[in-house]
């Protein structure tokens, strides 16, 4: 799998070994990776349940998408549900993302997500502490969770049951002295019991992108130098998105407000809608989804 992408190995103590990861009690002795080793920078870890609800996936899309577009590396576990939604959002916004695998980095698991892994490898890295070709076994995933927690100063929990692997990741992060934030969920949803418990015990709740930005800035996480240009299919789409999230508007009004040509506006709205960042209302206005 992924033979055409460069493979790399970094041992503990090597120059390229992530400094934060080395601080763990039991840092991995050797990291096996596919893709770009320089993407292993302190970023935002985003984790959530495999059996994610639409709520969790939407939160992943909006929050991870924003962070990726702002230049933060998104680290997650490559699993189905929230993890993949976070990777996907980062990629769709042209950002960098790192998947930490439980099995060998070259073993695509789950197998049906090969296409996503290809994209991750091309726009970031897939790493693992397990040697090449290691098939997945349940205990490996718990170990993998400590690497996710270890790589980033901030961990964002989207949806977590109780008990769950995601909740376990949060515990690792707290042990390592990292900031754990959580997205508040429904009090009735078992998928949110863990994330709500985290908030009850002092984790800052994240309800929008500005809170997330504040959190990241407080922790001093640096955004990668250049915000990705790949996502900007049409100029001005980010400005349009920000305005629409606050105040839904019709295309004509957007054009007037921003003094933009209607064709540019129509295209920006189309791109934003295509990627699910905004939604078209029945009356023709565009706004948050």
Nearer to other proteins, 3 or 283 (CB): 283
- The burial class, CB within 10 Å (0-12 / 13-18 / 19+), for 36 is middle
Is residue 214 involved in binding other proteins (CB under 8 A)?
Answer: no
Nearer to other proteins, 96 or 145 (CB): 96
Is residue 267 involved in binding other proteins (CB under 8 A)?
Answer: yes
Nearer to other proteins, 114 or 262 (CB): 262
CB of 172 to other proteins, least distance (A): 34
Rg over alpha carbons for the chain, rounded to the nearest Å, is: 19
| Residue 184: closest CA among 56, 79, 66, 88 | 56
> What residues form DSSP beta bridges with 205?
182
CB of 265 to other proteins, least distance (A): 8
CA angle 73, 8, 110 (to 5 degrees): 65
Is residue 262 involved in binding other proteins (CB under 8 A)?
Answer: yes
> What residues form DSSP beta bridges with 287?
279
H or E element at residue 32: strand 30-35
Placement of tokens 């933060």 in the chain: 72
Residue of 9, 219, 257, 273 that binds other proteins (CB under 8 A):
273
CB of 111 to other proteins, least distance (A): 20
Residues 6+ positions from 267 with CB-CB distance below 8 Å? 233, 234
CB of 282 to other proteins, least distance (A): 6
Nearer to other proteins, 182 or 234 (CB): 234
Nearer to other proteins, 217 or 235 (CB): 235
Residue of 239, 285, 287, 288 that binds other proteins (CB under 8 A):
285
What residues numbered 78-117 form the site for other proteins, per CB under 8 A?
92
Q: CB 114: neighbour CB atoms within 10 A? A: 13
Stretch that binds other proteins, among 124-132, 156-164, 211-219, 270-278 (CB under 8 A): 270-278
| Rounded Cα–Cα distance for residues 38 and 81 (Å) | 26
Kindly write out the interface string for residues 233-252 of this chain, putting x where it contacts other proteins by CB under 8 A and - elsewhere: xx---------------xxx
| Residue 154: closest CA among 225, 81, 214 | 214
Residue of 3, 25, 226, 283 that binds other proteins (CB under 8 A):
283
| Rounded Cα–Cα distance for residues 64 and 53 (Å) | 16
CB of 118 to other proteins, least distance (A): 13
Is residue 50 involved in binding other proteins (CB under 8 A)?
Answer: no
Q: CB 29: neighbour CB atoms within 10 A? A: 9
| Residue 146: closest CA among 131, 121, 165, 159 | 165
Q: Which residues bind other proteins (CB under 8 A)?
A: 92, 233-234, 250-252, 255, 262-263, 266-271, 273-276, 280-285
């Amino acid at each position: 799998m992924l033979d055409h992408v460069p493979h790399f190995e970094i041992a503990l103590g090597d120059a390229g070994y992530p400094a934060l990861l080395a601080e763990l009690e039991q840092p991995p002795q050797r990291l096996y990776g596919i893709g770009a080793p320089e993407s292993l920078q302190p970023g935002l870890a985003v984790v959530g349940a495999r059996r994610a609800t639409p709520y969790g996936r939407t939160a992943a899309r909006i929050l991870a998408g924003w962070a990726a577009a702002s230049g933060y590396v998104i680290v997650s576990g490559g699993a189905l549900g929230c993890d993949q939604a976070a990777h996907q959002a980062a990629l769709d916004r042209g950002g960098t993302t790192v998947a930490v695998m439980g099995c060998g980095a070259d073993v695509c698991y789950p197998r049906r997500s090969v296409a996503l892994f290809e994209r991750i490898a091309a726009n970031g890295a897939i790493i693992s502490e397990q040697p090449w070709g290691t098939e997945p076994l349940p205990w490996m995933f718990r170990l993998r969770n400590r690497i996710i927690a270890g790589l980033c100063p901030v961990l964002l929990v989207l949806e977590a049951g109780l008990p769950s692997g995601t909740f376990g990741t949060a515990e690792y992060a707290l042990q390592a002295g990292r900031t754990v934030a959580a997205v508040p969920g429904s009090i009735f949803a078992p998928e949110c019991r863990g994330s709500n418990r985290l908030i009850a015990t002092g984790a800052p709740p994240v309800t929008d992108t500005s809170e997330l930005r504040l959190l990241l800035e407080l922790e001093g996480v640096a955004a990668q130098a250049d915000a990705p240009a790949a996502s900007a299919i049409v100029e001005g789409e980010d400005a349009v998105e920000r305005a629409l999230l606050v105040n839904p508007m019709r295309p004509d009004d957007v054009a007037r407000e921003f003094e933009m040509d209607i064709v540019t506006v129509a295209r920006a709205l189309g791109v934003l809608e295509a990627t699910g960042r905004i939604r078209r209302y029945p009356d023709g206005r565009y706004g948050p989804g």
